[in-house]
């Protein structure tokens, strides 16, 4: 076979391929269009489910679309739980959530921020620091119900706090501390080191620098992250059920060692009663819970914008 022939054959092959390619080009671009449509579909599907969920809960709670009974009344906020749906309310649960979460913040916020300050400003690169870091990333992935088992053993039994608000708040605090640490570290790390060096040059000690320079600069991010951690704690049900928070509490807790219930547990309890009226009450509880969470998240977004970095 001559060189020309070889070339000819090759040229032909190339041509055919080019032909095939351009014939396919529309199809090749069309595949991209299909993916775009599927991408929009996934997003619309996810957000659509969210919308359906909210509309369904609003309707079941207030009967606004189906013309049913409105359960989200003054009595709902002002009555204790009852065996009769018409007399049942979420007062104990709402107060229980308020007390538990306040305590959780008191424990978790200083602890989380202090750990973050240590890791960012003080820690040397040694085995202790690495161990702490591995533990934090591991703890963030432990199922929340396992924290409940920890709380049951350590706070309820060993510390003998009983099935109390204190035990519940400590359990939730351990659950959210890793979230606060991660968010706070990120925010502290974003403070430029020139500010620290300027502070040291003025004769400030390490802690003076942290307290007067680093913390004021990073407080926006720390607060935002902590608020998101709190909203996680407000919605948690499983760990509190595990430590033995009660499902039926017809009174307000009087002290730290009193038994308690919280809004998510009240919702769970009403949902598990096979009675449409109680399920409607559960929907009213969900509406209250989602409103609280939405407000808190809006606050977090507001703070994030307010303290936006100006370097």
Partner 1 sequence: MAVTDLRKPINPVRAIGERIIQIALLLAAAVSIFTTAGIVFSLIFETIAFFSEVSIIEFLTDTEWTPLFANQRFGIWPLVSATVLTSAIAMVVAVPLGLIAAIFLSEFADDRVRRTVKPLLEILAGIPTVVYGYFALTFLTPLLRNFIPTLSIFNSLSAGLIMGVMLIPIVASLSEDALSAVPNSLREAAYGLGSTRFEVAVHVIFPAAISGVIASIVLAFSRAVGETMIVAIAAGQNPRLTFDPTVPVMTMTSYIVQVSLGDTPYGSLSYHTLYAVGFTLFLFTFVLNIFSYWMVRKFREVYD
User: Contacts with partner 1 in 130-159 (CB under 8 A)?
Assistant: 131-132, 135-139, 141-150, 152-154, 157
User: Which parts of the chain fold into alpha helices (H)?
Assistant: 3-62, 74-78, 91-117, 127-139, 144-151, 165-189, 193-201, 206-209, 215-235, 238-242, 263-271, 276-306
Given a contact cutoff of 8 angstroms between Cβ atoms, the answer to whether 92 and 80 are in contact is yes
Residue 52 in contact with partner 1, rule: CB under 8 A: yes
CA distance 161 to 257: 7
CA distance 130 to 86: 56
Three-state DSSP state, 160: coil
**Residue closer to partner 1 (CB basis): 145 or 252:** 145
Size of the site for partner 1 (CB under 8 A): 90
CA-angle at 263, arms to 260 and 266, nearest 5°: 80
Candidate ranges 7-15, 75-83, 86-94, 238-246; the one touching partner 1 (CB under 8 A): 238-246
Candidates 65, 122, 159, 251; binder of partner 1 (CB under 8 A) is 122
**Residue closer to partner 1 (CB basis): 4 or 42:** 42
Given a contact cutoff of 8 angstroms between Cβ atoms, the answer to whether 154 and 167 are in contact is no
Residue 65 in contact with partner 1, rule: CB under 8 A: no
Residue 80 in contact with partner 1, rule: CB under 8 A: no
**Residue closer to partner 1 (CB basis): 223 or 282:** 282
**Residue closer to partner 1 (CB basis): 84 or 158:** 158
283: closest CA among 60, 6, 91?
60
Candidates 9, 13, 45, 77; binder of partner 1 (CB under 8 A) is 45
Judged by CB under 8 A, the chain residues 263 through 292 that form the site for partner 1 are 264, 267-268, 271-272, 279, 282-283, 286, 289-290
Cβ 254 to partner 1 shortest distance, Å: 22
């Amino acid at each position: 076979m001559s060189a020309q022939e070889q070339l000819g054959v090759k040229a032909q092959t190339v041509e055919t391929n080019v032909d095939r390619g351009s014939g396919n080009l529309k199809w090749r671009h069309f595949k991209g269009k299909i993916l775009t449509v599927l991408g929009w579909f996934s997003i619309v599907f996810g957000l659509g489910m969210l919308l359906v969920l909210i509309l369904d809960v609003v309707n079941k709670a207030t009967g606004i679309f189906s013309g049913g009974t409105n359960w989200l009344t003054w009595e709902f906020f002002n009555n204790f739980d009852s065996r009769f749906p018409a007399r049942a309310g979420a007062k104990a649960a709402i107060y229980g959530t308020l007390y538990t979460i306040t305590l959780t913040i008191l424990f978790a916020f200083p602890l989380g921020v202090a750990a973050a300050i240590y890791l960012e400003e003080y820690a040397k690169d040694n085995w202790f620091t690495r161990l702490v870091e591995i533990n934090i990333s591991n703890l963030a992935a432990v199922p929340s119900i396992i924290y409940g088992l920890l709380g049951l053993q350590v706070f309820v039994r060993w510390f003998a706090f009983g099935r109390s608000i204190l035990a519940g708040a400590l359990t939730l605090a351990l659950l959210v501390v890793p979230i606060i640490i991660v968010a706070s570290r990120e925010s502290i790390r974003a403070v430029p080191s020139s500010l620290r060096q300027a502070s040291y040059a003025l004769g400030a000690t390490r802690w003076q620098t942290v307290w007067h320079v680093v913390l004021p600069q990073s407080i926006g991010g720390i607060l935002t992250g902590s608020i998101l951690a709190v909203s996680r704690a407000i919605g948690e049900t499983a760990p509190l059920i595990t430590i033995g928070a009660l499902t039926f509490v017809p009174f307000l807790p009087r002290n730290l060692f009193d038994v308690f219930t919280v809004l998510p547990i009240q919702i769970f309890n009403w949902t598990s009663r096979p009675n449409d009226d109680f399920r409607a009450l559960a929907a009213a509880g969900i509406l209250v819970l989602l409103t609280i969470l939405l407000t808190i998240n809006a606050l977090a977004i507001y703070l994030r914008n307010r303290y936006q970095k100006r370097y």
